[in-house]
Amino acid sequence: MVEGLVGKKLGITQVFNEDGVITPVTVIQAGPCVVVQKKTFERDGYEKIQLGFVDPKGKTRANKPMKGHFKKADAPATRILREFSFSEDEENPVNVGDSILARDIFKVFDLVDVTGKTKGRGFQGVIKRHGFSGGRATHGSMHHRGPGSIGASAYPSRVVAGMKGPGQMGSKRVTVKRLQVVQIDEENNLMLVKGSVPGAPGGYVLVTRTK
């Protein structure tokens, strides 16, 4: 069994249970994914499954080496390729060219970890980047959105490494753990998970089973 798959974040919405309680959820296009390569200890030094996300909206262009790579697996060309752990099952072995769907791995109420790239916010100050409160907003304070004192004059006579300051915000790889699967739409390969998922709508995410 494969431990995860590649998906695309479609957006957020809400669902109602039988008691009328609202649950905020994120909609993920969970597959279909195709097994492009099966790596082994004998050939590669480790065991992983390489999955490609098949975008239902259209074909993906690939260069000549990648075309041969997909042709060898008898799989369509995909834009995103990621590796996942897997466990061998004698009854249902994982083979190159197999299609992996969300219903094959996850069930409702399962806990999953979602990894994605957060939205890029550009260069930001300490108030937006780190949540500093800022200075007094009174007339003549001359200190409103600055970080304040960041070091000492005598000892150590320098700014300590790791001091919070302004800089690039966002555009980082983040993993949100233990999100509950609320619904699985088998017909459209959609998975609804409770809570927020990193990244903007249309961004690719990795959904893995929580260990």
3-state secondary structure 161-202: CCCCCCEEEECCEEEEEEEEEEEEECCCCEEEEECCCCCCCC
> What is the separation, in whole angstroms, between the first and last Cα of the chain?
14
| Residue of 167, 162, 127 lying closest to 148 (CA atoms) | 127
3-state DSSP of 87-141: CCCCCCCCCCCCEECHHHHCCCCCEEEEEEECCEEEEECHHHHHCCCCCCCCCCC
Q: What confidence score (pLDDT) does residue 23 get?
A: 92
Domains of the chain with bracketed CATH: 4-119+172-209 (2.40.30.10), 123-170 (no CATH)
Distance, C-alpha 132 to centroid of its chain: 28
CA distance linking residue 77 with residue 81, whole number of Å: 10
pLDDT number for residue 58: 66
Mean pLDDT per block of 10 residues along the chain (211 residues) reads 89 89 93 87 88 80 87 85 81 78 89 95 96 91 90 86 93 95 90 93 92 85
Burial 93-130 (b: 16+ CB within 10 A, else e): eeeeebebbbebbbeeeeebbbbbbeeeeeeebbeebe
Instruction: Evaluate if pTM is beyond 0.85.
Output: no
pLDDT for position 55: 81
Q: Tell me which DSSP letter residue 57 carries.
A: T
